A and B are shown apart, each in its own frame.
Chain A
Amino acid sequence: KAGVTQTPRYLIKTRGQQVTLSCSPISGHRSVSWYQQTPGQGLQFLFEYFSETQRNKGNFPGRFSGRQFSNSRSEMNVSTLELGDSALYLCASRVVGADTQYFGPGTRLTVL
């Protein structure tokens, strides 16, 4: 079974731009969560989606948004990028109701 895939793996943007990251969950997993990982703050929860609906949201500004499609694939968008948005963005999928999430390799975003 293929694991969680994230594209692109690396991205360089400049301040003020926007970016869209993509996540394809493990087949059969309908829940997708997003996390931001930085050296200073560690891993922080962004949001969770299943059945195309946001179910839970972390403490991030409205510039961070996401969506989920009918095939469970998910995208997250960051608008008006700031230098502090440079991070590893991780996607994780799980079977709804299960306590085990499987993480993708992440997208490394650098904002210049």
Chain B
Amino acid sequence: TQLLEQSPQFLSIQEGENLTVYCNSSSVFSSLQWYRQEPGEGPVLLVTVVTGGEVKKLKRLTFQFGDARKDSSLHITAAQPGDTGLYLCAGVSSGAGSYQLTFGKGTKLSVIP
């Protein structure tokens, strides 16, 4: 069974602070995705990382993929209240006509004004 562990589970910070969320996998997936989910809505894809060592930036968000493609991190610089939400990492398993996401349990982020 492929597992994804996220840490921390909860994070409450002041506006303007930096934070890092971690995602560690027990095995290698085809790729790894990060999502953000707000209450009452479905997850929204932020980024897909594929190559070991890859770094992607999305405004104040920086995503890193470990060299072994089993760990990833999401770093937010100068967090804002609009960053509040549930951050999920997901391993993509695809091939032979099938597609499946395995999700971590998420990090619930609260950014206090």
Q: A: which residues have CB within 8 A of B?
A: 4, 31, 33, 35, 41-45, 48, 55-56, 58, 90, 92, 94, 99-106
Instruction: Report 15 cross-chain contacts, Cβ distance below 8 Å, ordered by A residue.
Output: A33-B100, A33-B101, A42-B103, A42-B104, A43-B43, A45-B100, A48-B99, A56-B98, A99-B30, A99-B48, A99-B99, A100-B48, A101-B45, A101-B99, A103-B44
Binary contact track B72-113/A, C-beta < 8 Å → 1, others 0? 000000000000000010101010011111111110000000
Most chain A C-beta atoms within 10 Å of own C-beta, residue among B30, B31, B45: B45
Residue of B nearest to A55 (CB): B98
Inter-subunit contact A103/B42 (CB<8 Å)? yes
- Please name the 10 residue pairs, one residue from A and one from B, whose CB atoms are nearest each other, closest first: A103-B42, A42-B105, A56-B98, A43-B103, A55-B98, A45-B100, A103-B43, A90-B42, A105-B41, A104-B42
Residue of B nearest to A106 (CB): B42
Inter-subunit contact A99/B100 (CB<8 Å)? no
Residues of B within 8 A of A99 (CB): 30-31, 33, 48, 92, 94, 99
Chain B, interface SS category: strand
Number of A-B contacts (CB under 8 A): 60
B34 CB → nearest A CB, Å: 12
Chain A, interface SS category: strand
**One of A41, A48, A102, A105 near B100 (C-beta < 8 A):** A48
- How far is B41's CA from A4's CA once the two chains are assembled, in angstroms? 11
- How far is B86's CA from A28's CA once the two chains are assembled, in angstroms? 29
* Interface of chain B residues 36 through 91 with chain A (CB within 8 A): 40-45, 48, 88, 90
A87 CB → nearest B CB, Å: 13
B112 CB → nearest A CB, Å: 22
- How far is B42's CA from A37's CA once the two chains are assembled, in angstroms? 10
A36 CB → nearest B CB, Å: 11
Given contacts A45-B100, A56-B99, contact A4 B42 (CB under 8 A): yes
B3 CB → nearest A CB, Å: 11
A48 CB → nearest B CB, Å: 6
- How far is B96's CA from A56's CA once the two chains are assembled, in angstroms? 10
